[in-house]
Amino acid sequence: MKCDAVFEGGGIKGIGFAGAIAALEEAGYTFENVAGTSAGAIAACLVASGYTGQGMSEALRGVDYRKFPQRPVSLSGPLGSLAHLTARLGLYRSDFFAAWLDELLAQKRVRVFGDLRTSRLDVRYRYRCQVIACDVSTADMLVLPRDAARFGLDPDVFSVTLAVRMSMSIPFYYEPCRLRDAQGAEHLIVDGGLLSGYPVWLLDDDSANPPWPTFGFKFTDGEQQGPARIRGLGDYGKAVANTLLDGHDRYYLQHVRGDAARTIHIPTTVRTAGGNRTIHATDFDLTHAEGQALYDNGYHAAQAFLQTWNFEVWKRLHRSNQAKGALLS
């Protein structure tokens, strides 16, 4: 059985995707087209390159997550961090991450998006993997590799690792990536989650009878229940940031018919011998046991989802001509 997949952003929480992917593979699904933002972009490019859920898990277990945020060795202390942030617009570099991903992709003989090209003419499916990033210089969302053409670059030879690196460059945490357009103007590219952390709509073919399902993979737990308590500037800043990152996608998920029903929700609270812990995007101090528990969360969430999933029923409810008309009205 074929399926498409869209993976939400979520930093280190992306370990949970490997478990969910493994559960779908055990159920007989194979992935045709994939897309993602930030951590979801990592999962998407690995799946598109031929990694299984188990293979992805093994690759993730073999890396020291603490090296992902790479602090420049020449700067230390608060003043050094402030100086680097001011000069480079981010506290950390992502060179270690890029080298790690390059090596994983090389094992599958993937380097550029041309290695993931399909025979389809429709731009939505020309490449097996698509990655969401954000151009803060023009306030535009980028869908890579197709939007590489905006910068005079050939999408076929655009680096997969570079696209993923752009997508996971959390503003102020990681240095932004920089590209120049055909006129020589510099653009700063950052985490696609600023504009769409969960682009579940990206792979839809807009027909009433899609040939196979698109599954979304999204994280839950620790989410705000009811209005946030805003007691000062710090709370206000956090609320504004959460709105910028999640507001658009949450509205889309709640109001576009059928999207919630095709979403696999992966809990991010893990239970280990040391107690419960809710994993956040930049918790790079994750232990092996916590990583395994997050993998298990994804696996069991996908299994539970598949127990009630019925593609024909979903199409009848959400993609019939009548339902499509209601969707577009």
> 317: which 2 tokens?
């409810």
Distance (Å, whole) CA 11 – CA 158: 23
Distance (Å, whole) CA 205 – CA 202: 9
Q: Cβ of 191: how many Cβ atoms within 10 Å?
A: 28
**Does residue 38 carry a catalytic annotation?**
yes
Residue 10's nearest CA partner among 252, 228, 286, 304 is 286
- Cβ atoms of 241 and 194 closer than 8 Å: no
Distance (Å, whole) CA 187 – CA 185: 7
Strand partners, 36: 7, 131
Pairing of strands 177-180, 186-191: antiparallel
User: What is the chain's alpha carbon radius of gyration, rounded to the nearest angstrom?
Assistant: 20
Contact residues for 327 (Cβ-Cβ < 8 A; gap 6+)? 256, 257, 258, 318
Distance (Å, whole) CA 159 – CA 131: 12
Contact residues for 141 (Cβ-Cβ < 8 A; gap 6+)? 132, 133, 134, 135, 192, 195, 196
Distance (Å, whole) CA 155 – CA 115: 11
Q: Which of 38, 94, 159, 196 is catalytic?
A: 38
Query: What is the sign, positive or negative, of the torsion defined by CA atoms of 61, 66, 72, 74?
Result: negative
Q: Which of 147, 191, 246, 249 is catalytic?
A: 191
What interhelical angle do 321-328 and 311-318 show, nearest 10? 50
The residues carrying an active-site annotation are 38, 191
